[in-house]
Amino acid sequence: MSVRLNRSDLCQSKQRSIVTFLRTCAFALVAAIGVSHAAHAASAEEIKARGYLSVATEDDYTPFEFVADGKNTGYDNDLLALVRKKIGVDIKQQVMPWSGILPGVTTGKYDMALTAVLVTDERKKTFDFASPTCEAVTFYAVKKGSTIKSPDDLVGKVVGAETGSAMLADLKLFNEELKKKHGGNGLKQIVEYQSYPEAYQDLGLGRVDAVANTQISLNSLVKTRPDTFVVGQAIGKPTYIAWAVKKGNSDVLKMVDAALLELRKSGEMYQLQQKWLGATYKDMPPSVN
């Protein structure tokens, strides 16, 4: 059945469309104003006035941040405990999935991403970084007994990584290198996960052939499950891991950097590195910005 609109109906329809359009614009403007306000980076004076620094931390990224016996633990949490004693203000910690941490910093919801953020040129466009907490290189891990013995063996394979991570970006760059080297043949598929435990579970079940993560994290994985997984070789270039703030938030950086550099000088940071990461990184630059 066809429906015909008379001129009056058409006018009313047009008016409704205009009203809808204006309402949409108004909502968008309000949202933009709200985001602009939220994106404000708190100054040192504002932080001292409210009495605390707001940070976001992951809880599922061994050995940096994870839960054991009902408590948040790991390298970053131990480092946070030492920084708390030196910074002069309280630190309120929000534990959440990785996917929400960096967006929360860019909108101003949190002053800092106090988690293992890999420093990349792309991230430097949006964030400034505190003095680095360790070095990092992206490797891959496979299931014990795998036929994958070198990076070239990953051609035609399914590889997983955490969504939004720098390791995923490294994996994508590595895939392009594979294609150039092997006549257009690269990975069969890249699978993105919300968290690494999910990726490791699929690796153990054979749903993916390998998982890309930092060498430090994969060493920790193999340490806890030596009969199941094996660390492969590097597929990324050496870089650093550091806590992140919204670009231009120099006040928070100064507060945190002062504490981190003191912990380097006292040797306490290196003791924690040895405890959690199995190595010390004494040649790190004071700044990576």
Pairing status of strand 239-246 against strand 71-73: unpaired
Residue by residue, DSSP assigns 5-70 as --HHHHHHHHHHHHHHHHHHHHHHHHHHHHHHHHTPPPPHHHHHHHTEEEEEE-SEETTTEEEETT
Contact criterion met (CB below 8 Å) for 240 and 134: yes
Q: Ramachandran region of residue 278, left (φ > 0), alpha (ψ -120 to 50) or beta?
A: left
pLDDT for 34:
38
pLDDT for 45:
80
pLDDT for 161:
97
- pTM of the model as a whole: 0.68
Report the C-alpha gap between 233 and 212 in whole angstroms: 10
Output the six-digit token pair for 241.
Answer: 């891991």
pLDDT for 266:
97
Alpha-carbon dihedral sign for residues 135, 107, 82, 260:
positive
Domains defined along the chain, listed by start:
44-136+241-277 (3.40.190.10), 138-234 (3.40.190.10)
pLDDT for 36:
38
What residues pair up with 53 in beta bridges, in sequence order? 91
* Per-position pLDDT tens, the chain of length 289: 333 334 344 344 444 444 444 444 433 443 443 333 345 667 778 888 888 999 999 988 889 999 999 899 999 999 999 999 998 889 999 999 888 999 999 999 999 999 999 898 999 999 999 999 999 999 999 999 999 999 999 999 999 999 988 899 999 999 999 999 999 999 999 999 999 999 999 999 999 999 999 998 899 899 999 999 999 999 998 899 999 999 999 989 999 999 999 999 999 999 999 999 988 999 999 999 9
pLDDT for 99:
87
The enclosing H or E element of 266 equals helix 250-266
Residue by residue, DSSP assigns 45-62 as HHHHHHTEEEEEE-SEET
Output the six-digit token pair for 11.
Answer: 């006018």
